[in-house]
Chain A
Amino acid sequence: MLESIFNLVAAYHWIILAFVFHLVVLGTCAYLILLERKTASWVQDRLGPNRVGLDFGLPFLPKFHFWGLGQPLADGIKFLVKEDYGRKGVDKLLFSLAPAAMIIVVIISIAVIPWGGVRQVTKTIEVSGSQLTGPVFVQTDEGPRLGTSAGEALRRYLPYDAAFVKPVTPEDVNLAQAISPATGQLTGPVQFTVTYRYHFQIAHLNIGVLFVLAALSLAVYGVVIGGWASNNKYSFLGGLRATANMISYEIPLGMSVLVMIIMFSSLDLAVIVDRQATYWGPTIGGTHLALIPAWNMFAQPLPFLLFLICIHAEANRAPFDMAEAEQELVGGYHTEYSSMRFALFFLAEYAGMITTSCVLVALFWGGWHMPWIEWLFSAWTVPASEAGSNSVTTSLLVCIVRSAALFGKAIIVLFIFMWVRWSLPRFRFDQLMQIAWKGLIPIMLLLIVTTTLLVYWFDGATYDGLSGWQALGFLVMNLAALAMIVAGSYVVPAGQNQNLRVAVHDSRYRATALPAGVRSSFMASEQVVAVRGPAH
């Protein structure tokens, strides 16, 4: 009885994973806000919030501040008890729908992150006789095969994406207590001993990358709807800017993912991670030296860099945070939001950052791969020569450690997000568009073409993972592409100077009353004229 419950739990492990990972992600969101404020402080020679400890002001606890770790809890309580203010004139339905839409799409996109590789389990599953309506085995040309009803009954106790390592044969079945000796009929429970593998992730989709891109690009609807429903011109402008931003930066983002897809011929994030979970290095005297982990970042640095830039834009973060520019738009699309609705926008922004960071780690940083310390887990790892993949393990604990490794790498990416935010000023709107359409997209097109040619030249040998020489080839290709881009910047005409000074009323830069021979600031000249004198 107890065992069948455990089997059912194993069958529905994705529910538990979904629950745990979403709690982890949302909890991390709260602490990311603290990390954000701390990073801002460190950059500005401050210390950051360090007063709200975990003592909750209780008198019997020592006055110890715990580095401000209680701050997110205090923030959460504050958001919950604040007045949910709805301004006159807002579209009430859309106003409530916008933050919900945003957090939903962000949360479902976490489902396809390949947290812990593949787990292989060998166990005995008891199927009651009543579930077996047909014969347990049917005779085929290649030997006995599992019958339809037996297969279905067995599947009920297995994870949805479980794959048998070898077909179930009569040797794996214990019919001893199943057949009553008197009648020869199948009455009791049948015990199957099966070995199967399943992916340690919430939903194992073979189009995982596409799913993340599709789900995250829907997040902009939350921004646009929120901006529209607020009945506020600043919010509306924020929503519009977010749309243009998203449309522009989705393209190079998708393209840099496309480079990975071309290399590995798979849309499955788990497969892409699996191909990276090995090493490049010379083979000396028959031993393969583990010199460099076979992460795509080292073979394809330019797509990695461009992906990193694009996920900043995707998350609406500085320097691409036109949609919520505090200085111009008073907060942009969430100007009119307060209390928990505002907090949902905030959570969605940070959860989106976590998802995109995890995708970056999976695509370019080897996912859960822990370089040079893998021998620690060799007792629980099925060797690649036997399993046909680098990611098969027999232990649940190894899966959890791998999840922690992936998450730790994602935290590094998240720190880069914050580091960049507090270092760089915001782009102007035309600069934003210029970078995407005149910079990133042509570069990515070049890289896609060269990667395709190289994969064609290797005759598709990269599909099962790059060898060291192939990786070197891709690296040289990247450097050649970089040289082409630099050379191109000399060849391609510079175009008009975008930094126009427009003369407005009371401006120091004036087009009127200039002396003869002085070129006006309206002209895209190298010389800009500033007029001295009284300011009106």
Chain B
Amino acid sequence: MPPKNRSKARDYVTITEPKLTLSDQFYLPQVFAGLGTTMRHMFNVLVKDEHRVIQYPEERREDLDVEKGGMKLDIYRGVHRLNKDEEGRVKCVACFMCSTACPANCIHIEAGESPWPDREKYPIKFDIDELRCIYCGMCEEACPVDAIELTSIYDIVGLTRQEMIFDKAKLLEIYDRTVDQEPM
């Protein structure tokens, strides 16, 4: 019997406890029903092979369909990259929008005067602390020139904390590595 939920205007609701049937009172029929449910799940896993496990190193989420628990590469928020323009220069104009937007304060930019005529500034240094980063994607949203983007790489490792602070060269290298799979 579903609990009655009468008036929403009043500040209290009256819940009537469902009356127990005979099988509820003796509990064991309910126990057997529960055991049947769990046995059905065991049967599905063992006989029909219907489990919900991705065997990680052998199976990876990027190789699966989105419907089967795979990930959508174009919107996944993984490691950052710094995009390049057609001439191979870094797109970033060192406007500090991303480091301002960053809630984890993990982006550190050092701006310098641009050697190119089409912009005023460019980043001399661009460091992202991947251990501090919470992968929220705010930097990507804030960037006015689409220079910083989050890729679908998620399995980064390092032996030291220093190693996990990615500098400009590394971030540009990630662009080169991922641009074919995930174009800008």
Q: Which residues of chain B are within 8 angstroms of A41 by Cβ–Cβ distance?
A: 45
Residues from 445 to 489 in A contacting B, C-beta threshold 8 Å:
486, 489
Residues from 1 to 29 in B contacting A, C-beta threshold 8 Å:
10-17, 22, 25-28
Give complex CA distance A42, B53 in Å.
Answer: 11
Q: Which residues of chain A are within 8 angstroms of B37 by Cβ–Cβ distance?
A: 423
- 29 A-B contacts (beta carbon < 8 Å): A39-B42, A42-B41, A42-B46, A43-B38, A45-B41, A45-B51, A46-B45, A46-B51, A47-B45, A47-B51, A47-B55, A486-B22, A486-B26, A489-B25, A499-B17, A514-B12, A515-B12, A518-B12, A526-B16, A527-B14, A527-B16, A528-B15, A529-B13, A529-B15, A530-B12, A530-B13, A531-B12, A532-B10, A532-B11
Give complex CA distance A529, B44 in Å.
Answer: 42
B11 contacts A533, C-beta separation under 8 Å:
yes
Contact of B34 among A423, A515, A528, A532 (CB under 8 A): A423
Residues from 35 to 77 in B contacting A, C-beta threshold 8 Å:
35, 37-39, 41-42, 44-46, 50-53, 55
A508 to chain B, nearest CB (A): 10
Q: Which residues of chain A are within 8 angstroms of B53 by Cβ–Cβ distance?
A: 46-47
A8 within 8 A of B: no
A80 within 8 A of B: no
Give complex CA distance A449, B176 in Å.
Answer: 85
B24 to chain A, nearest CB (A): 11
B11 contacts A43, C-beta separation under 8 Å:
no
Q: How many of chain A's residues touch chain B, expressed as a range?
A: 20 to 34
Residues from 31 to 73 in A contacting B, C-beta threshold 8 Å:
39, 41-47
Contact of A420 among B15, B35, B51 (CB under 8 A): B35
Give complex CA distance A530, B28 in Å.
Answer: 30
Q: Which residues of chain B are within 8 angstroms of A486 by Cβ–Cβ distance?
A: 22, 26
Q: Which residues of A contact B (CB under 8 A)?
A: 39, 41-47, 305, 419-420, 422-424, 435, 486, 489, 497, 499, 514-515, 518, 526-533
Give complex CA distance A486, B23 in Å.
Answer: 10
A312 to chain B, nearest CB (A): 11
Give complex CA distance A497, B16 in Å.
Answer: 13
Q: Which residues of chain A are within 8 angstroms of B153 by Cβ–Cβ distance?
A: none
Residue from B16, B38, B44 having most chain A Cβ neighbours under 10 A: B38
Give complex CA distance A533, B42 in Å.
Answer: 43
Q: Which residues of chain B are within 8 angstroms of A529 by Cβ–Cβ distance?
A: 12-15
Give complex CA distance A532, B8 in Å.
Answer: 9
Nearest residue in A to B25 (C-beta to C-beta)? A489
Q: How many of chain B's residues touch chain A, expressed as a range?
A: 20 to 34
Give complex CA distance A499, B18 in Å.
Answer: 12
Q: Which residues of chain A are within 8 angstroms of B15 by Cβ–Cβ distance?
A: 527-530
A263 to chain B, nearest CB (A): 24
B51 to chain A, nearest CB (A): 5
Nearest residue in A to B52 (C-beta to C-beta)? A45
* Across the A-B interface, the 8 shortest Cβ-Cβ residue pairs: A42-B42, A423-B38, A43-B38, A42-B45, A423-B34, A47-B53, A45-B52, A532-B11
A146 to chain B, nearest CB (A): 57
A422 contacts B38, C-beta separation under 8 Å:
yes
Give complex CA distance A143, B72 in Å.
Answer: 96
B13 contacts A489, C-beta separation under 8 Å:
no
Give 5 new A-B contacts, CB below 8 A, not counting A45-B50, A486-B22, A528-B17. A45-B41, A45-B45, A423-B37, A435-B27, A489-B22
Give complex CA distance A326, B10 in Å.
Answer: 39
Q: Which residues of chain B are within 8 angstroms of A45 by Cβ–Cβ distance?
A: 41, 44-45, 50-52
Give complex CA distance A88, B34 in Å.
Answer: 44
B23 to chain A, nearest CB (A): 10
A419 contacts B35, C-beta separation under 8 Å:
yes
Q: Which residues of chain B are within 8 angstroms of A499 by Cβ–Cβ distance?
A: 17
Q: Which residues of chain A are within 8 angstroms of B51 by Cβ–Cβ distance?
A: 45-47
A43 contacts B42, C-beta separation under 8 Å:
yes
Nearest residue in A to B32 (C-beta to C-beta)? A423
Give complex CA distance A422, B44 in Å.
Answer: 16
Q: Which residues of chain B are within 8 angstroms of A420 by Cβ–Cβ distance?
A: 31, 35
B17 contacts A526, C-beta separation under 8 Å:
yes
Give complex CA distance A497, B55 in Å.
Answer: 49
B50 contacts A532, C-beta separation under 8 Å:
no
Give complex CA distance A328, B76 in Å.
Answer: 39
Residue from A43, A499, A514 having most chain B Cβ neighbours under 10 A: A43
